[in-house]
Amino acid sequence: MIWITWRQYRTEFLLVVGMLVAFAAYLIPTGLQGHDAFNSSGLGSCLSTDPFGCWDLKEPIQNAYDNSQRVTTWFIFFPGILGVILATPIVFEFDRRTYRLSWTQSISRDRWLWTKLGIALLALSAFAITFTMMMTWWFSPLDRLDPISHHHLESFAFKGAIPLSYAALAFASTLGIGALTKRSIVAALLGLVVFVTAQISFGAALRGSDQTVVIDETTRMVRDRFWEFQLIEAAIVLGISAVFIALAAWIVKLRMQ
């Protein structure tokens, strides 16, 4: 069962690896340029002594990132595409009814479903974490400009638990909708709609202001709420993902013939 699932996923795995290699080909040279600008500008030593006195030094690093950031902004769609791609092989089985062949070969519905889910979610986690590490490294010079600027709001969706949670949402919603409709194209399109809708909704609700960092104007001290908001958003998104997974499992076990 594991070997069969791997064979079904080979094309999707290679496609995702190709996307990550393409991202790396862009992120490494532009990221090195940004890191070099940060080190050569003297920002590092300035921020360690007087963070609020470094305004005049931030222009070189911002210039280094301006053009490339117009491209990396589009990378925000990768978790959604990743989730849909990895859900597609399972949804194809719903669409083509090939799951019936597996169930007639002494493979229970539970084993069929959880083996496929386990392999898909392990791969999804590995790919999403790799993407997160790449983007965290790329954004790190900009992030270190805080508290003199709020670039953490631009990098929020690329860091921490957010890429993985949204990849899981795209995967789970595509899977749940696919089990319900047994239509792979419909499931893929609606999975992307769910992903984009969630990104926009939570972006406005939780990331749409400077509330992730609160500056006390009296003491000029910064209280970082970055991880607080990361965990809140990730928990909500993963909770919704669990509902879609439960829907798919219920349909497979009780309704699908």
Query: How do beta strands 221-224 and 213-216 pair?
Result: antiparallel
116-125, 153-162, 235-244, range with greatest mean pLDDT: 235-244
Containing 206, the helix (H) or strand (E) segment is none
Q: Which bin fits 128, alpha (ψ -120 to 50), beta or left (φ > 0)?
A: alpha
The string of DSSP letters for 18-32 reads HHHHHHHHHHHHHHH
Whether residue 164 has pLDDT greater than 90: yes
Does the pTM exceed 0.75? Answer: yes
The pLDDT > 90 percentage for the chain reads 40
Window from 40-49, 74-83, 182-191, 208-217 with minimum mean pLDDT: 208-217
More confident call, 106 vs 25: 25
Containing 71, the helix (H) or strand (E) segment is helix 59-72
Whether residue 131 has pLDDT greater than 80: yes
* pLDDT tens, position by position, 25-47: 999 999 998 888 777 777 767 76
**Mean pLDDT, rounded, for 166-180:** 95
Whether residue 174 has pLDDT greater than 60: yes
3-state secondary structure of 214: strand
Containing 119, the helix (H) or strand (E) segment is helix 109-143
* pLDDT tens, position by position, 199-253: 988 876 766 554 554 444 443 447 567 778 888 899 999 999 999 999 998 888 7
Of the candidates 108, 100, 124, the residue with the CA atom closest to the CA atom of residue 175: 124
Question: Taking the mean position of all CA atoms in its chain, how far away is CA 150?
Answer: 21
Q: What is the mean pLDDT of the chain?
A: 81
Q: Which two tokens stand for residue 173?
A: 């919603």
- pLDDT band at 24; cut points 50, 70, 90: very high
Q: How far apart are CA 160 and CA 230, in angstroms?
A: 7
φ and ψ of 160, to 5 deg: 60, -135
DSSP 8-state secondary structure symbol assigned to residue 167: H
Instruction: Give the pLDDT score at 62.
Output: 73
Whether residue 256 has pLDDT greater than 70: no
φ and ψ of 221, to 5 deg: -100, 150
